[in-house]
Amino acid sequence: MSNVRTRIAPSPTGDPHVGTAYIALFNLCFARQHGGRFVLRIEDTDQARSTAESEQAILDSLKWLGLDWDEGPDVGGDFGPYRQSERMGIYRQYAEQLVKEGHAFYCFATPAELDQMRQEQMARGETPKYDGRSLALSYDEVQRRLENMEPHVIRMKVPHQGVCEISDMLRGNIQIDWAQVDMQILLKADGMPTYHLANVVDDHLMEITHVIRGEEWINSAPKHQLLYQYFGWEMPTLCHLPLLRNPDKSKLSKRKNPTSILYYQRMGYLPEAMLNYLGRMGWSMPDEREKFSLYDMLSEFDINRVSLGGPIFDTEKLRWLNGCWIREELDADLFAQRLQNWAYNRETLMPILPHLQQRVEILSDVAPIASFLVSGMLDLSEDRFLRESKLEKSELLKLLQFALWRLEALRHWQRELIFEEIKLLATQLEVKLKDFLAPLFVAIAGTSASISVMDSMVFLGPDLSRARIRHAIEVLGGVSKKQTKKLEKDYAQLGKAAQGKDA
Ligand code: GLU
């Protein structure tokens, strides 16, 4: 098999996720093992949520890890463009072809109408699902509405009954009832394709032979298989890898574990150790050894050795493995080089040095006040917060949790934007800015007597900044599920109250 082509198809809508790197690693190994090619395709059809910044971060972090692709938006290739937003002219014709052939149909239901339909279904105790109402329209009626330019989408037809059988490399036959599968929208009202249409069309046009992806996509497989049948195309072989999990077995989530690759980079993990650890997620070397390089993994790779029990992404284990790499693989010279490349270099330090310069008298003052900038999690205590702030513990928790949510929603990590959000939140909570900033200072720098907390957050980057706020919340006793619900309500009210005032 030398024509093997695998791909990773991330959507650039947030931080580069460790799950993306994990899937990329297995796709790369599979392609290399068969002398095939590994493709990177950016799935940015959701233009409201996709950002160029996030795409860049994904490319940078995969490169940092040493996961090289043969074709992609940055390196080109014979099957480009490799960014779906640049392929927008391609998808409509495929959706219309399916309509013409009777496999898809125009749907004119308005969002309000669909909402009501779902409410009624739920009131009857049914799972909400599109009920096929536009299928009843006559050909003439459809033409009339199209001519009137009535807003519409294109949906695929799906069998009402029976069982769909999906064949998966690791899982064998998977059976899913057609009754559970919705008449998926293929082309949205704004003319954009959905993930399902664009993904299938591109995998076909890019001649992908093996779709190796996370198990969260299994439920999409019936729709995809049906689309391949409708088009009369050969379907790639499917392989759904097990989801990464938190140590408590729940799905890996940033609430419990940092999930952004940039966080691990910032914390000073070595890319080799990260890859090594990701390689151990559901997979092992034939001799079961824990420490191995990408090269070792490539030479021993066999996808059938993937075990389906949910692999646990445990940062303690990763930390231990990283220590092995540092001690066993680096001599003093290389160690010095790594430190330098990581943070102890002019380029990294330059943006923050002027701020430090203002606060020192002798050079040896620098390291103590700058140490929080090159540290991981800080050694905080509840006492410290209470000493440095006038607010009570429950107030502090609320404030930090709200700040965290605001900063998690921030799409561009820039000083002015961060400051605006914090100021707005302080106004909405009717807390003086100074009082709002004090606990934030402690969370980020360990003390409020430090350089500007905004500059510090910009320097630390979004991932480590958010992780420190999360850590501060834990130090203050954490927020239970019940409390989170209550806070979520208050938080939603905030936005509304502010809108009310503006109006
Ligand atoms: N764009 C999807 C994602 O964000 C791709 C899923 C797939 O591999 O089919 O993961």
DSSP code, position 71: B
CA 379 – ligand 1 centroid, Å: 38
Q: In the predicted model, is pLDDT for residue 500 greater than 60?
A: no
d(CA 500, CA 503): 5
- Percent of all residues in the chain with a pLDDT value above 70, rounded to a whole number: 98
Give the position, in ligand 1's atom list, of the atom nearest the Cα of 214. 8
In this prediction, residue 439 has a pLDDT band, given cuts at 50, 70 and 90, of: very high
Angle at 445 between CA 444 and CA 450, to 5 degrees: 130
Catalytic positions: 254
In this prediction, residue 503 has a pLDDT band, given cuts at 50, 70 and 90, of: very low
CA 443 – ligand 1 centroid, Å: 35
Q: If you take atom 3 of ligand 1, which residue's CA is the nearest one?
A: 10
Q: Within 13 Å, how many C-alpha atoms sit on residue 88's CB side?
A: 10
Pairing of strands 237-241, 210-214: parallel
Q: If you take atom 6 of ligand 1, which residue's CA is the nearest one?
A: 9
Residue in 185, 165, 44 with CA at minimum distance from that of residue 108? 185
Give the position, in ligand 1's atom list, of the atom nearest the Cα of 195. 1
SS3 state at 186:
strand
Q: pLDDT tens-digit profile of 189-224?
A: 999 999 999 999 999 999 999 999 999 999 999 999
Q: pLDDT tens-digit profile of 227-260?
A: 999 999 999 999 999 999 999 888 888 777 889 9
The pick from 6, 26, 83, 195 for probing ligand 1's pocket by mutation, whose C-beta has the most ligand atoms within 8 angstroms, reads 195
Pocket of ligand 1, beta carbon within 6 A: 9-11, 43, 195, 199, 213, 217
- 497 in Cβ contact with 428 (< 8 Å): yes
Residues 6+ apart with CB under 8 A from 321: 273, 276, 277, 290, 291
In this prediction, residue 497 has a pLDDT band, given cuts at 50, 70 and 90, of: low
Q: pLDDT tens-digit profile of 319-370?
A: 999 999 999 999 999 999 999 999 999 999 999 999 999 999 999 999 999 9
The pick from 5, 7, 8, 11 for probing ligand 1's pocket by mutation, whose C-beta has the most ligand atoms within 8 angstroms, reads 11
In this prediction, residue 502 has a pLDDT band, given cuts at 50, 70 and 90, of: very low
CA 213 – ligand 1 centroid, Å: 7
d(CA 209, CA 42): 18
Residues 6+ apart with CB under 8 A from 237: 167, 169, 209, 210, 211
Q: In the predicted model, is pLDDT for residue 162 greater than 70?
A: yes
Q: In the predicted model, is pLDDT for residue 501 greater than 80?
A: no
What value does the mean pLDDT take over residues 373-381?
A: 94
Dihedral sign for Cα 451, 455, 460, 462, please. Answer: positive
Q: pLDDT tens-digit profile of 279-331?
A: 999 899 999 999 999 999 999 999 999 999 889 999 999 999 999 999 999 99
Q: Structure tokens of 173?
A: 């036959």
CA 467 – ligand 1 centroid, Å: 26
Give the position, in ligand 1's atom list, of the atom nearest the Cα of 220. 9
CA 7 – ligand 1 centroid, Å: 10
- Cβ–Cβ contacts within 10 Å for residue 343, how many? 14
pLDDT of residue 210: 98
CA 10 – ligand 1 centroid, Å: 5
In this prediction, residue 496 has a pLDDT band, given cuts at 50, 70 and 90, of: low
- 306 in Cβ contact with 171 (< 8 Å): no
Give the position, in ligand 1's atom list, of the atom nearest the Cα of 7. 8
pLDDT of residue 261: 94
Q: If you take atom 5 of ligand 1, which residue's CA is the nearest one?
A: 9
Q: If you take atom 10 of ligand 1, which residue's CA is the nearest one?
A: 10
Tell me: cis bond preceding 81? Omega within 30 of 0 counts: yes
pLDDT of residue 14: 84
In this prediction, residue 12 has a pLDDT band, given cuts at 50, 70 and 90, of: very high
CA 180 – ligand 1 centroid, Å: 21
Give the position, in ligand 1's atom list, of the atom nearest the Cα of 10. 4
